[in-house]
Amino acid sequence: MNNLEKLNGQLNELITKNYDAEKGYKKAADLTKNPELKGYFTNQAQNRYDFGHALKNEIKSTGGDVDKGTSLKGDLHRAWMSVKDTFSANDDKAMLEEVVRGEEAAVEEYNEILSDATLAPTTQNLIKNQVQSVQKALADARSLEAWENK
């Protein structure tokens, strides 16, 4: 596997994970009654949708092929959120805990790709901008989680 194939594979994985996150955020926005959380979840869903499209464009610009769909793991996580919702009466705290967990994993994945010294400057800038946005979303989720714990 050459470097371009490896990079396209990594970017396709990020696309899938961003679309998983988008769907998860949409689900959380549907479940919460808190207007502040609903706004946060809706905004993050849009960000992840936009991230996915930017990554698609980056793959296409290198001549790579874009994969389609969400991951089985993401689908299972959303199903778990639905089951958890049934038992926890739309527990905003629990949803925020899942957001924090997911965003921490996303930051790790982005940083892993950034550690690859063979990234083209456009790809590196795109990944840096997205990871910074995910880090901000993580900080916001932690703040909201602390607020929910009061």
pLDDT, residue 150, reads 60
Domains of the chain: 3-148 (1.20.1260.10)
Q: Output the pTM of the full model.
A: 0.82
Kindly tell me the number of DSSP H helices and DSSP E strands found in the chain: 5, 0
Pick out the chain residues at pLDDT < 50.
80, 83, 86-87
Q: Using alpha carbons, select from 127, 94, 105, 115 the residue that is nearest to residue 21.
A: 105
| 59 within 8 A of 11, measured Cβ to Cβ | yes
pLDDT digits (tens, 9 = 90+) for 61-104: 988 888 865 555 555 555 545 545 543 555 888 888 888 888 99
| 36 within 8 A of 144, measured Cβ to Cβ | yes
Task: Provide the strand spans (E) within 2-144.
Answer: none
pLDDT, residue 80, reads 47
Q: Rounded CA gap, 97 and 103, in Å?
A: 10
Radius of gyration over alpha carbons of the chain, in Å?
A: 16
Q: Rounded CA gap, 137 and 86, in Å?
A: 26
Q: Rounded CA gap, 120 and 4, in Å?
A: 10
DSSP 64: P
CA distances to 12, 66, 81, 98, 113 from 140, rounded to whole Å, are 26, 31, 20, 13, 23
Classify residue 88 by burial, with Cβ atoms within 10 Å: 0-12, 13-18, 19+: middle
pLDDT, residue 71, reads 56
